[in-house]
Amino acid sequence: MAETVARTPLDQRLTWSVAEYIPQEFVQGVLQGGKDDTDRAYGYRSLGGMISAVEEQWDSHWPDIDLWLLNQLRISPLRVQSEEDADIVIVPAILAIHDIETQDAFVSNITTFLPNIHNKPHIVLLNHAVAPYIEQGSTLFSHPNSKLLTFICFTQRFPAEPQYDLDHVVGTPQFTRIHWNQFTMAENRQPSSNHQLEESKQKFAAASFGLQHYSDRFVAHRDCMARPDLCSWFNFTDPREDSLALFHLMESAWYVLQPRGDFITRSAWFDTILAGSIPVVFHARYPEFQPFNDVIDYSRLMITLPEEEYMQEGSDNILDVLQARFDTNEALEMLRYIQSVRHVFQFSLNPEHDVIRWDQQAMLSEADDAFTFTMKGVMRKLCQRQAGFANGSPHPSCSHKGPMATVEYQE
């Protein structure tokens, strides 16, 4: 672990301890939580060194956000050894969503496993499957004790189960296949002038996605292929060979079509943002499921064509709709906004931990990346909830006033 910071009473940096005493069955349960055992093995190997060794990640459809975050939290200079000295406690129980009994055992015995649960905010990292596949996560989120925790996962809202009150969930960006390579590093790509941006856009629209199971994708593919003068289709088949070409295609287009995947959002949306192009989505509530939506104005960085209007038999071709609406100045304004925020969707290889500060929790710094801005999201969520702070008193930098939210332990 890195040398920890020396703090003063006025230090605004967030600090955390890591509850390494969690029983192993909850820590090791993560091995059961991915698409298959191979995927999770990739994630564990990456913890042995920097994840910049991308060759091990190319064949994994779900690179491991949870393990990346946990690794950064463990090696951070903001980590302290004593829970008494920490602002928050990181719980390295990355729960296995396919093992409901493990979920239930963890949350049902939470005060046994986490002795400071009523004195400090506790943050739990969730693996990729918890968020979209809410039916399998129902035990975890519906249990009364879950309100004692704050969860980090790669989406914030769950449309299939609106009855769950998930104000204790913090969203984080998804990893993607092309995300891993250095050429996607938004932090290394300088903003362009309007003239340079306009000159770089050689194509009107681009699209690339699998066609299995998803009716929206068939419609988007059909419309793209019907307008070859407006839309370039890329048949992505080999992550090792095709990723760079796909990235450059996205980068050269004004718009990139992003129909839904397994759920409303999809990882390639983040590729589009990192490439500096405008995503076109087909669900009116899309921004509700994106990370950082309390700070980032999603209406300024993507086009929404609701599926009930544009994905029906006999609907106008979506490329014709986009062309009719196209205005160069408006599109350039969106691209400039994308360039100003896209670095917080990129997991930097060398995040600057010192920007994780209570007094800057709502500020989007040029030094932020997806990791640091996720932790700022944790601070905003804790201040909003006022839950879990020692003695019922939030951190002094929280702007909210009044009593801490009441959360009772349930046997």
**Element (H or E) spanning 188, and its range?**
none
Q: Residue 104, SS3?
A: helix
Residue 59 counted as domain residue: yes
pLDDT given at position 205: 96
Structure tokens at 316: 């106008």
Residues 338 and 388 grouped into a single domain: no
Residue 81 counted as domain residue: yes
Q: How far apart are the first and last CA of the chain?
A: 36
CA 364 to chain centroid, in Å, comes to 16
Residue 400 counted as domain residue: no
pLDDT given at position 137: 52
Whole-number Å distance between alpha carbons of 52 and 189: 17
Residue pair 317/204 in contact by the 8 Å Cβ criterion: no
Residues 305 and 274 grouped into a single domain: yes
Q: What does the CA dihedral 342, 344, 346, 349 come to, rounded to 10 degrees?
A: 130
Structure tokens at 64: 């491991």
Residues 235 and 323 grouped into a single domain: yes
Residues 56 and 66 grouped into a single domain: yes
Residue 398 counted as domain residue: no
Residue pair 156/171 in contact by the 8 Å Cβ criterion: yes
pLDDT mean by block of 10 residues, the chain; 411 residues: 46 90 69 38 33 38 66 92 92 66 82 90 74 53 82 64 66 67 48 82 91 77 94 81 81 93 78 91 85 92 90 87 95 93 83 90 87 93 72 62 33 33
Total domain count for the chain? 2
CATH at residue 330: 3.40.50.2000
Residues 84 and 228 grouped into a single domain: no
Residue 267 DSSP code: T
- In this structure, which amino acid lies at residue 70? L
Q: Residue 280, SS3?
A: strand
Residues 93 and 127 grouped into a single domain: yes
Residue 4 counted as domain residue: no
Residues 34 and 89 grouped into a single domain: yes
Residue 3 counted as domain residue: no
Q: What are phi and psi of 314, to 5 degrees?
A: 90, 0
Last residue of a domain, one of 345, 375, 403: 345
Residues 309 and 376 grouped into a single domain: no
Residues 339 and 361 grouped into a single domain: no
Residues 110 and 162 grouped into a single domain: yes
Tell me the pTM.
Answer: 0.84
Domain span at residue 26? 16-175+347-392
Residue 226 counted as domain residue: yes
Last residue of a domain, one of 312, 328, 345: 345
Residues 198 and 321 grouped into a single domain: yes
Task: State how far the alpha carbon of 263 is from the alpha carbons of 5, 157, 206, 266, 289, in Å.
Answer: 41, 11, 21, 7, 10
Residue 110 counted as domain residue: yes
pLDDT given at position 223: 94
Residue pair 250/271 in contact by the 8 Å Cβ criterion: yes
Residues 325 and 232 grouped into a single domain: yes
Residue pair 111/78 in contact by the 8 Å Cβ criterion: no
Whole-number Å distance between alpha carbons of 290 and 293: 6
